[in-house]
A and B are shown apart, each in its own frame.
Chain A
Amino acid sequence: MRSVVPLLLATALTLAGIAAAAAAPVTVHDALGREVTMPVPPQRIVTIFASNTELAAALGLVDRIVGIEAFTRFPPEVLGKPLVGGRLGFSVDAVVGRRPDLVVVTPARQAAHQLVDPMERLGIPILVLLHRTMPEIFSNIRLLAKACGVVERGEEVVSRLQARLDRVKERVEGRKAPSVIMVTGRLGNGMMLIARPGTYTGDAILRAGGRFALESGMLAQVSPEAILRADPDVLLFAGSERDMNELIARPGWADMRAVRERRSFVVARTEFLIPGPRTLDGIEKLAALLHPAVSQ
């Protein structure tokens, strides 16, 4: 009977150690170089933007999400969660009203601008993430996993995604990269927005085995004429089939090589314009479109 006491003591100490480790504050560095400390693993998370919500969802944290913004549509389980902002900006009141212990934002629209300062003043941890390349998305998944105390799940998710990315790389490696233009938006003045280098959308195109037909310079937008003159091997349109058909029905577009050779395709906006795990779906599909021979 006497020998049980030290054993119990040891067990108790071990348990206490585990509990202490689980409750230890976690500090991470975000995209702005800020040091963000979570005293305990967050249980009430406000994820601003579809991208950050999807990252949290990929980590199995949907249940912890207590607030989203109005344009988040995925995954379906988050629909109906309270909204803390939309096109007209983000409400500090609404975010605080959700009593979050972590807020995740991206410096798009006015989010970081409107929220970082107040959350810092109120002592609510706020993590700013930037998603500019696939590796950056992966490291953000790890970062969020660490912040939320689910490090292992983060590693799992990333290694699965990384394996898929590697498979695409093997498939397209050594093959001649077709020149690509992806139209991501059209402006009122007739100009087009196209995917550019230095963005995750551009990174996705490169990883799917494409190359840029047009390195648009300082301006994010290009004239349709420049697209016609660049005459890419493949024309991609992020949007609906109908809008694409309307676009290529315009004067001159039918003569484009990509259109004549039936290499103009519609791609999903959700896969190329929301950085996250779904971008990999997009990369895989795009690789199949760009390199049809290897993808039976």
Chain B
Amino acid sequence: MTAWLRMVVVLLLAMMVGISAGHGWASPADVLRAVAGDPSLGSRLLVEWRIPRVLAAALVGALLGLGGTVFQGVFRNPLAEPYLLGSAGGAALGATVALLVPLAVPQPLLLPVLAFAGAWGATLLVIGISRVSGAVDAAGMLLAGVAVAAILGALRSFLMLALSDETISLQIVLSWVLGGVQTPSWPMLGLLAAITAACVGLTLLIAGRLDILGLGETMATSFGLNVHRFIMVAVLAGSVVVAAAIAFGGLVAFVGLAAPHIARWLVGPLHKPLLPASALVGAIVVTLGDAISRSALPPAEIPLGLVTAVAGGPFFIVLLARRLRK
């Protein structure tokens, strides 16, 4: 129980740091004044811009933690990460179209929609390919995922080269690909919160079967689990979670891989506690990463994915080393 309390407290602290952090640091008094309805520009910036962004960052992190846990559970591989089955490539392609192709739909709407469609579409394609080729198992899906990712990556590169010049910069796509939480409008933030809650529920529904699958395919079959069918269902569920995270936060490296591991050390390997714990850890990591990305190099912002990889990578290695030494 203490592990849960600790995680919640750390998350709240991280969010407070996140709200304070930025080009100009806000003191807790500033934040309180802003929340109390102070009309000054600085206060409105905090309420209208920074607080929703911090909340969005936490929710995106939670989704990545959930997605990573599902994928590691399905593939029974600690190196499995949420972008494994083409979702990163598909999302990046969708985002490239949204960012570079002039379409009639306003970009703030188009970007998350196309990123989601790309991410989920790519995973559907991977599942479809492995079904058609009769290889609905982990290995078959992974191979199909590699192929689909390569194709989508090439298409995206071509679009980026074809549609950019001195004024339409590759940076705009590159910065999206490197991840970054955009401040959502309040209704969009509500939607994101609802999606996150639904995703927690959805993944908890398959938690028990993920545990059974963890015993190995033969064992799981003898427990009465239709392994191939379940893998497909679980991958579909996991990829919805990941696609939602991508739609709101771009491609954030490393969190989906690391959060489940950290959570596993805290609450053990059973998926029922592991899934919410991973969500909490993911939320903490992304909230802190977003705070660093906004405040480290003012007035610029470092793409979030770079922060999570550079700051989170060594942290993860240290934890891993300590864990292995025990």
Q: Are B300 and A86 in contact (CB under 8 A)?
A: yes
Bound CA–CA A219/B171 (angstroms): 17
Q: Do A87 and B183 contact each other (CB < 8 Å), given the known contacts A108-B168, A110-B172, A113-B172? A: no
Given contacts A88-B300, A121-B48, contact A193 B22 (CB under 8 A): no
Q: How far is the CA of A273 from the CA of B300 in the complex (A)?
A: 23
Main SS class of interface, B: loop
Question: B28 interface residue, CB < 8 Å from A?
Answer: no
Q: Which of A86, A97, A106, A122 contacts B23 (CB 8 A)?
A: A97
List 5 A-B pairs, minimum CB-CB distance, nearest first: A88-B300, A93-B23, A94-B299, A220-B165, A91-B299
Picked from A106, A122, A199, A219, the residue with its CB within 8 Å of the CB of B41 is: A122
- The answer to whether B42 has its CB under 8 Å from any CB of chain A is yes
Bound: A220/B159 CA distance, A: 11
B217 in the interface (beta carbon within 8 A): no
Whether A52 sits at the interface, judged by CB under 8 Å, is: no
Asked whether any CB of chain B lies closer than 8 Å to the CB of A176, the reply is no
Q: How far is the CB of A192 from chain B (nearest CB, A)?
A: 11
Interchain CB contact (< 8 A) of B300 among A85, A108, A121: A85
A78 at interface by CB-CB < 8 Å: no
Residue A39 lies at the interface, judged by CB distance under 8 Å to chain B:
no
Closest CB-CB distance, B208 to chain A, in whole Å?
A: 42
Chain A residues near B175 (CB-CB < 8 A) = 89, 110
Other A-B contacts than A88-B297, A117-B108, 16 sampled, CB-CB below 8 A, are A86-B300, A88-B303, A89-B300, A90-B299, A91-B23, A92-B45, A92-B49, A92-B183, A108-B168, A110-B171, A113-B99, A121-B185, A122-B49, A220-B162, A220-B163, A221-B165
Q: Which residue of A lies closest to B50 (CB)?
A: A93
| Interface bits B300-322 vs A (CB < 8 Å: 1, else 0) | 11110000000000000000000
Residue of B nearest to A83 (CB): B299
Whether the Cβ atoms of B300 and A221 lie closer than 8 Å is no
Residues of A within 8 A of B (CB): 83-94, 96-97, 99, 106, 108-110, 113, 117-118, 121-124, 184-185, 193, 196, 199, 218-221, 273
Closest Cβ neighbor of B164 among chain A residues? A220
B209 at the interface (CB under 8 A from A): no
C-alpha gap A185/B167 in the complex (Å): 12
Q: Are B298 and A94 in contact (CB under 8 A)?
A: yes
A108–B167 contact, CB under 8 A?
A: yes
Q: Closest Cβ of chain A: how far from B161's Cβ, in Å?
A: 7
Residue of A89, A122, A221 touching B301 (CB-CB under 8 A): A89
Q: Is residue B268 within 8 Å, beta carbon to beta carbon, of the partner chain?
A: no
- B49's contact among A90, A99, A110, A118, by CB below 8 Å, is which? A118
Q: Is there an interface contact between B166 and A88, defined as CB atoms closer than 8 Å? A: no
Cβ of B44 within 8 Å of any chain A Cβ, yes or no, is yes
Question: In the complex, which residue of chain B has the Cβ closest to the Cβ of A88?
Answer: B300
Residues of B within 8 A of A85 (CB): 299-300
Q: Flag if B302 contacts A193 (CB, 8 Å).
A: no
**Would you call B169 and A108 a contact (CB within 8 A)?**
yes
Q: Flag if A121 contacts B166 (CB, 8 Å).
A: no
Q: Which residues of A contact B294 (CB under 8 A)?
A: 91, 93
Question: In the complex, what distance in Å separates the CA atom of A184 from the CA atom of B167?
Answer: 11
The reply to whether A93 and B45 contact each other, CB–CB distance below 8 Å, is: yes
Nearest opposing residue in chain B for A275, CB measure: B167
- Beyond A91-B23, A93-B45, A99-B41, is A84–B299 a contact (Cβ under 8 Å)? yes
A219 to B161, Cβ gap below 8 A? yes
Give 1 or 0 for each of B19-62: 1 = CB within 8 Å of chain A CB.
00011100000000000000001101100111000000000000
Asked whether A93 and B169 contact (CB < 8 A) given A218-B162, A220-B164, the answer is no
| B167 (CB) vs chain A CBs: closest residue | A108
Q: Which residues B271-326 have CB closer than 8 A to chain A? A: 294, 297-303
Q: Please give the distance in Å from B24's CB to the nearest CB on chain A.
A: 5
Which residues between 145 and 177 of chain B lie within 8 Å of chain A, taking CB atoms? 161-169, 171-172, 175
